Amino acid sequence: MRKNQILQLLNDNRGRVQGLRVQASADATEVTVYVYDVIVTDDWWGGVSAAAFVQALASITADVIHLRINSPGGDVFAARAMETAVRGHSAKVIAHVDGVAASAASFLMLAADEVEITDGAFVMIHKAWSFAMGNADELKETANLLDAVDASLVRTYAKETGQDEADIAAWMAAETWFSSADAIEKGFAHRLAGSDAGANASAWNLSAYSNAPAPKQPVTPPTAPADSSAAPTPPAASGDPIFRVPDLAAMKRRLDLSHRL
């Protein structure tokens, strides 16, 4: 049986995070809301709860809200409640992906009017998880619920990014991590942030996920070869992303096959 990944995220990252913070500008015309934690239904375990976020947002009367996100994801229904609050607020909401907007945090991000992403940050989408036990009928009900959740996420991502639903479904099935450049190209973000916000994806323990990017390591200068006549190995192109968008055609074939089984 698959382990409960949301609890794993909470346990793995306990003590690493800053949670929910709200900070107003000097003239109170702009407010910054920080979601720097796992998204949860109830903050008894820690994390940013939907109730705390929605209450904080409702108290804001500023003209502009900066929603700064560095979250490995969390509970899909809690994030949906937070998304609804963002969409319903009268202020202009600008989302800033400071480190990572993974899983549930990725569609919270898309509720904003504008999305900008820091160079080196990531956006991740995947199929919904659950932790279930019971008889065959109860497990089938859970599977049906997960299918319904995935379908709703596909529609949201497709509507907000302009991408084809089949492409979105394939990316979700593959647990796809988009670099900042890929996120902009695929419509998950509008622009690159002007400066590094100081947060990064490597601050998180992302081992609950299958394809999470490895933390960046310091670059060690190459040692000169003993044989000076030996040709040095050319360096990799600096613009190459850590993860590339998967082959959609191959993933669609895999999805079609799984549906026929």
- If one compares 97 and 234, the residue with the highest pLDDT of the two is 97
- If one compares 226 and 77, the residue with the highest pLDDT of the two is 77
Q: How confident is the model at residue 18 (pLDDT cuts 50, 70, 90)?
A: low
- Whether 233 shows a pLDDT value over 70: the answer reads no
Helix H or strand E segment including 134 = none
Percent of the chain with pLDDT over 90: 48
- If one compares 255 and 130, the residue with the highest pLDDT of the two is 130
Q: How far is CA 192 from CA 28, 79, 122, 169, in A?
A: 26, 24, 12, 25
Report pLDDT digits (tens) over 121-175: 999 999 986 666 778 887 788 788 888 999 999 999 999 999 999 999 999 999 9
**Interatomic CA distance for residues 174 and 182, integer angstroms:** 15
Residue type, 126: H
- If one compares 65 and 146, the residue with the highest pLDDT of the two is 65
Q: What is the pLDDT of residue 58?
A: 95
Report pLDDT digits (tens) over 28-40: 899 999 999 889 8
Q: What is the pLDDT of residue 209?
A: 58
- If one compares 131 and 87, the residue with the highest pLDDT of the two is 87
Q: Is 221 left (phi over 0), alpha (psi -120 to 50) or beta?
A: beta
Q: How confident is the model at residue 249 (pLDDT cuts 50, 70, 90)?
A: low
Q: How confident is the model at residue 115 (pLDDT cuts 50, 70, 90)?
A: very high
Report pLDDT digits (tens) over 184-210: 999 999 999 975 455 555 565 555 555
- If one compares 217 and 85, the residue with the highest pLDDT of the two is 85
Helix H or strand E segment including 67 = strand 64-71
**Interatomic CA distance for residues 38 and 132, integer angstroms:** 20
Q: How confident is the model at residue 231 (pLDDT cuts 50, 70, 90)?
A: very low
- If one compares 102 and 212, the residue with the highest pLDDT of the two is 102
